[in-house]
Amino acid sequence: TAGSRWAVVMSRGAGYSDQVVELDFLYPSEGIHRRWDAGYRITSTAATFDQSALVLSIPRRKPTDETQETLRTSAFPSTHVKEKWAKNLYIASICYGRTVS
């Protein structure tokens, strides 16, 4: 059928001990930082024309040297991505849509 729908894939044995979804009409910066402080990491992102959804998960095994950053921009950040790759930071999730703060 035509129309917009959320699609969700659920998995068992995915390596997470807990998981939450931050769903908002604005970019949920405060929620992301609160979850980061509690040990969650962004594992998936999605956006529509009026909402953003971020899935944050706690890994069963805590990485020893782990960093996570976010970036919002209207143009694809090719240069930024290449600079981060040079520092061993890799894309974990990417989406395009509503991220107004």
Q: What is the pLDDT of residues 55-100, one digit of tens each?
A: 999 999 988 888 899 998 889 999 999 999 999 999 999 998 866 5
**What domain count does the chain have?**
1
The model's pTM is 0.84
Q: Which residues face 57 on adjacent strands?
A: 19, 41
Domain that holds residue 45: 17-85
> Percent of the chain having pLDDT more than 70?
94
Provide the pLDDT for residue 2.
62
Task: Give which of 37, 51, 39, 38 is closest to 99, Cα–Cα.
Answer: 51
Provide the pLDDT for residue 71.
92
pLDDT tens digits for 8-40?
999 999 999 999 999 988 888 889 999 999 999
C-alpha distance from residue 86 to each of 8, 83, 90 (Å):
33, 5, 9
Q: Are 53 and 22 in contact (CB under 8 A)?
A: yes
Provide the pLDDT for residue 97.
83
Does some domain include residue 1? no
Does some domain include residue 5? no
d(CA 36, CA 33): 5
